[in-house]
Amino acid sequence: MESLRLDNQLCFLLYAASRRMTQLYRPLLDELGLTYPQYLVMLVLWEDERGEGVPVSHVCSRLKLDTGTVTPLLKRLEEHGQVARRRSSGDERVVRVYLTEAGRALEAQAADVPAQLLCQTRSEPERILHWRSELQALLRQLEAASG
Amino acid sequence: MESLRLDNQLCFLLYAASRRMTQLYRPLLDELGLTYPQYLVMLVLWEDERGEGVPVSHVCSRLKLDTGTVTPLLKRLEEHGQVARRRSSGDERVVRVYLTEAGRALEAQAADVPAQLLCQTRSEPERILHWRSELQALLRQLEAASG
DNA sequence: CGATATTATATTGTGCACAATATATCAGGG
DNA sequence: CCCTGATATATTGTGCACAATATAATATCG
């Protein structure tokens, strides 16, 4: 059944490439004491937290993950001292996530992770930009799909 | 820090696209009683198991997963009656995985899953072929990287 | 104002991923 | 034949993902 051949499946290529990418990040992130999903949360906070904290829902929507994944992730980051969590005074339903000093300081350490990865994969920067736009288009197409 | 912007990261695009793809498969695979990784195992077996069974190591290498993931996956497929597992008579170290009648019959039911997905994403077939070759190249590049 | 619906987060349960380790079998050299 | 190392699979422990449900706070409508 030709249509079911594993290597013809876009889905498997995405799945394999994504896992492989995570594996390449692992040794670099180990030095920062972060897992890969924790690193993604920190990317969001470094970009969006301006001292006033961001709601849990904001982290969820940026990463397209639900609270069942994000809440325990944030708790582990809190245990490790990278973030703090406080209920918003305005709306008691909302929990705001803050960077601690340590969490903020980690950004400098993480600054050259993307370059190190680029170097490790020996990719031309323009090749990366090409794949980035291809993947952005693919992701848009997938997100437009019903389901 | 521009280099750390979430949406610039190839890694996040892969991660998000892969999860989104899995989400699109879920309702279709629910009808077959399979999870997405279980579906991938079945793809390997439908393609490579010719009645004589395939070693666990073969499934691992095709899917690039280790035994810590694959062994429990195969046990769940066995519980659900899709596969059988027997130690090889020649080499008692290897466990061979066989399709059951039910497992073999499931291939016909799965035959139109790829087409349904194509339809759901409203993608031109040539667009898919394009992304497939792009992702094959990206995966090769990632696998060539040390680490 | 009070009942109802909505929103934000948390919890529970199942199934991956993967590092690290364990166990059992086999292969080769002395 | 025994010892040593290699090979194949399984087990353990941690951390995601996500569906389903629970809980609490807020908004809305009659």
Write the pLDDT tens digit of every residue in A49-104.
999 999 999 999 999 999 999 999 999 999 999 999 999 999 999 999 999 999 99
Domain membership flag for residue B46: yes
Q: A2, A3, A10: which to substitute to probe chain B, counting the most B Cβ within 10 Å? A: A10
Query: Which residue range(s) make up the domain with A91?
Result: 37-100
- Domain count within chain B: 1
- The mean predicted confidence, pLDDT, of chain A is 96
Share of chain B above pLDDT 90, in %: 91
> How many angstroms separate the CA of B19 from the C1' of D9?
29
CATH number for the domain that contains residue B55: 1.10.10.10
- The mean predicted confidence, pLDDT, of chain B is 96
> How many angstroms separate the CA of B121 from the C1' of C20?
41
- Which among A62, A127, A147 has CB closest to B120? A147
**Residue owning tokens 């009683």:** B33
Alpha carbon A57 to chain centroid, angstroms: 15
Mean pLDDT along residues B100-123:
95
Mean pLDDT along residues B103-118:
96
Whether residue B147 has pLDDT greater than 70: no
Domain membership flag for residue B57: yes
Mean pLDDT along residues B13-23:
98
Angle at B81 between CA B79 and CA B82, to 5 degrees: 115
Q: From CA A54, how far away is CA A64, in angstroms rounded? A: 15
Residue A12 corresponds to which tokens in the numbers above?
Answer: 């498997």
Chain B residues inside the 8 Å CB shell of A99? none
Domain membership flag for residue B117: no
Chain B residues inside the 8 Å CB shell of A26? 147
Nearest alpha-carbon partner for A128 in B12, B1, B147, B9: B9
| Distances, alpha carbon A62 to alpha carbons A38, A104, A109, B9, B146, in Å | 13, 19, 23, 13, 30
Q: From CA A116, how far away is CA B59, in angstroms rounded? A: 32
- Residue A87, nucleotide of least CA–C1' distance: C9
Tell me if A120 and B47 make a contact (CB, 8 A cut-off): no
Domain membership flag for residue B24: no
Domain membership flag for residue A58: yes
Confidence of residue A8 (pLDDT cuts 50, 70, 90): confident
DSSP A76-144: HHHHTTSEEEEE-SS-TT-EEEEE-HHHHHHHHHHTTHHHHHHHHHT--HHHHHHHHHHHHHHHHHHHH
Tell me if B135 and A11 make a contact (CB, 8 A cut-off): no
**pLDDT at site A147:** 66
- Residue B63, nucleotide of least CA–C1' distance: C17
**pLDDT at site B109:** 96
Domain membership flag for residue A50: yes
Burial classification of residue A29, based on how many CB atoms lie within 10 Å of its CB (0-12 exposed, 13-18 middle, 19 or more buried): middle
3-state secondary structure of A42: helix
Domain membership flag for residue A85: yes
Angle at A42 between CA A36 and CA A43, to 5 degrees: 90
